[in-house]
Amino acid sequence: MSDENKPLDDAKESAKEFAEEAKETAREFTDSARETFQSTDNKKILAGILAILLGTFGVHKFILGYNKEGFIMLAIALVGFLTTCLVIGAFILWIPGIIGLIEGIIYLTKSDEEFYNTYQAGKKPWF
């Protein structure tokens, strides 16, 4: 009888080991992601790249903790999308897009110390 249950016991043991390894991997990923997002050096790079790629939606503002400014850019983008059937919507979409592009370039060209003092410690919300 125990020989019949041996494959089942082995499978259960393998499943337990796999679950533990998956939990450990998820824990390591969470810790490294938390460290990345809390690091000032990585916030500069992350905010700069997101400003260039998704600046229209104000994602970079949320990364830096500027929620009010992020919602302003997101609202302008939504108004632009909703009015694209009218010609004016396309022009409205350009506003946050250009702001995001300019801010992304500024973020990436500043030194780490300058970026930290200006945008994280000094809390300068625009440009």
Q: CA-based diameter of the chain, in Å?
A: 78
Residue 91 CA, chain-centre distance (Å), reads 26
pTM as predicted: 0.63
CA dihedral in degrees (112, 99, 123, 79; nearest 10)? -140
| Axis-axis angle for helices 40-54, 2-38 (nearest 10) | 90
For the chain, the domains span: 1-38, 39-127
Dump pLDDT digits (tens) for 62-115.
998 899 999 999 999 999 989 988 888 888 889 999 999 999 999 999 988 888
Can you tell me the distance from the alpha carbon of 74 to that of 85, in angstroms, rounded to the nearest whole number? 19
